[in-house]
Amino acid sequence: MVKQVYHYAVAFITLIMVISGGVFAFMSMADYVSPNIYIETFEDYKSMREHKNETEHEASISENDLIAQYDAMLKQQLEYRKQSALNGLIKSLGWIFIPLPIFVFFQRKINREKNITK
């Protein structure tokens, strides 16, 4: 009796882990395909840079240079979010592939025990 409860408990826990891994993998894939990033407007970026230059007594940067820096910042944020989503996807796949063989093993044990008792 205790052995059966143990087998069912392990099968249930590993099944929950596989399902959770699948959900997290789906969410990570969605974040990779369509990253959710906060993008400050160019006007906000420009005003912060101008304020920084005033406080540090640096020379003003031309509008074209500011646009190039802003575009580079946007690309960097997008790449960071995609890399983070890819990292999350790999971790989520671990939550699927590590407990899955354990679930299959215990599920087969449960089925064998059912066939023996019949």
Residue 46, pLDDT score: 82
Better pLDDT: 108 or 44: 108
Question: Number of folded domains in the chain?
Answer: 1
CA distance 106 to 98: 14
CA–CA dist 117, 108 (Å, integer) = 14
Nearest to 10 by CA among 115, 100, 118, 75: 100
State how far the Cα of 56 lies from the Cα of 95, in Å rounded to an integer. 49
Q: How high is the pLDDT of residue 105?
A: 96
According to the model, what pLDDT value does residue 56 have? 67
Instruction: Please check whether residue 5 is in contact with residue 107, taking contact to mean a CB–CB distance below 8 angstroms.
Output: no
Taking only the tens place, the pLDDT of each residue in 71-92 is 998 899 999 999 999 999 999 9
Domain with 66, as residue range(s), is 2-117
59: which residues sit within 8 A by CB, 6+ positions away? 53
